[in-house]
Amino acid sequence: MAAVHHSPNPPIVYSFPFVDKLVASLAEFIIKAQRESIDKKGKFTIALSGGSLPNALKGLIGNPGVKWDKWQVFYVDERVVPLDNPDSNHLAFTEILFSKVPIPTSHIHTLDPSLLDDLEELSDAYEKELIKEFAQKDSARFPVFDLILLGMGPDGHTASLFPGHELLAEDDRWVAYLEDSPKPPAKRITFTYPVINHAARVAFFAVGEGKVEMLSSVLDKPEEGLPSSRVKPVYPGHLYWFVDDQAAAKLEYPKTAFKL
C-alpha cells in the first residue's frame, strides 16, 4: 500500500494586545496540553528554550491546574556553562519559575555539568537522557514531546539553530553541539530539527517591536528558509505562535482569535 503523506498543519498565530493577556493565555494553553498528555499517558513532556521565555511562563506559578509532579522538563538548547552561571538557561528557569513551584528536581533534565569540557560527550549524554525518556533511538523514531516552547532571535534563529549554520542540515543526531554561536556564549548544545519537528505541539513566544520585521519574514516569507521558518512539525503536529500586536504590526499572515 502506498504511504500517505500529509502536509504539515499550517501555523496558528495568536496575537494579543497586551503581554499580560498573552502570558495568561499561554498558561491556559500549556495546562490544556498537559491535561491531554496526562490523560493519555500519565505524564507531560515539555522542552523549554531561553531568552525571555521563563518570564512568559509566570502564569503557571500558583496555578492549581498545573500537575507539577507529572512534568518531565528538558531544555531545547543550553549554553555550555555551569548550572549556576548567569548565562545558564536552567539558572534563569530555576530563579524565575522552578524555585516557586513544587516540581521534583529529578524531573528537570539539565546538561551534565561534569562534561562541560567535552562537547561531544556532553551532547551525547543529553541525547541519552532523551532516549531514556522516549525509548530507543532508531532511524525511524524520534522523541515526540507533548510541547516544545521556542523563542525567536533578532536574526530569525531559534533554539541554537542560527542562519546559515551547518546544524540546519543535521538530520540524524537528536542533540548537537556548536562552538561558534554568533551570539555569545559560543559553546552550546541544541535540539536538532528532527526533534523539534516531531513534537505534538510547538509554540513560539515573540513579543515587542524588536520582532516586527523578523516575524513577518518568518511567517510571510517562509521560502527564505530562516531557522524559525524551518520549524514545521510533521503531521499531525501543530505549530502555534503567541505574539503581541506590536510584534505582529507588519504581519500579513492571518491571525486566529485565541480559544482553547
Ligand X SMILES: O=C(O)[C@H](O)[C@@H](O)[C@H](O)[C@H](O)COP(=O)(O)O
Supply the minimum distance, in Å, between the C-beta of residue 205 and ligand X: 6
Supply the minimum distance, in Å, between the C-beta of residue 199 and ligand X: 17
Question: Using CB under 6 A, which residues numbered 119 to 178 contact ligand X?
Answer: 151-153, 160
**To 5 degrees, how large is the angle CA 85–CA 152–CA 213?**
135
Instruction: State which residue, 55 or 114, has the beta carbon closest to ligand X.
Output: 55
Instruction: State which residue, 9 or 52, has the beta carbon closest to ligand X.
Output: 52
Instruction: State which residue, 45 or 160, has the beta carbon closest to ligand X.
Output: 160
Instruction: State which residue, 37 or 167, has the beta carbon closest to ligand X.
Output: 167
Q: Indicate which single residue of 40, 41, 183, 221 sits in contact with ligand X (rule: CB under 6 A).
A: 183
Match 528536581 to its residue by C-alpha cell.
105
Supply the minimum distance, in Å, between the C-beta of residue 60 and ligand X: 17
Instruction: State which residue, 37 or 94, has the beta carbon closest to ligand X.
Output: 94
Question: Using CB under 6 A, which residues numbered 199 to 228 contact ligand X?
Answer: none
Binding mask 19-58 for ligand X (x = CB under 6 A): ------------------------------xxxx------
User: What is the amino acid identity at position 155?
Assistant: D
Question: Using CB under 6 A, which residues numbered 52 to 81 contact ligand X?
Answer: 52
Please, which residues have CB within 8 angstroms of residue 1's CB and are 6 or more apart in sequence? Answer: none
For ligand X, the nearest residue by Cβ is 51
For binding to ligand X (CB under 6 A), which residues are involved? 49-52, 151-153, 160, 183
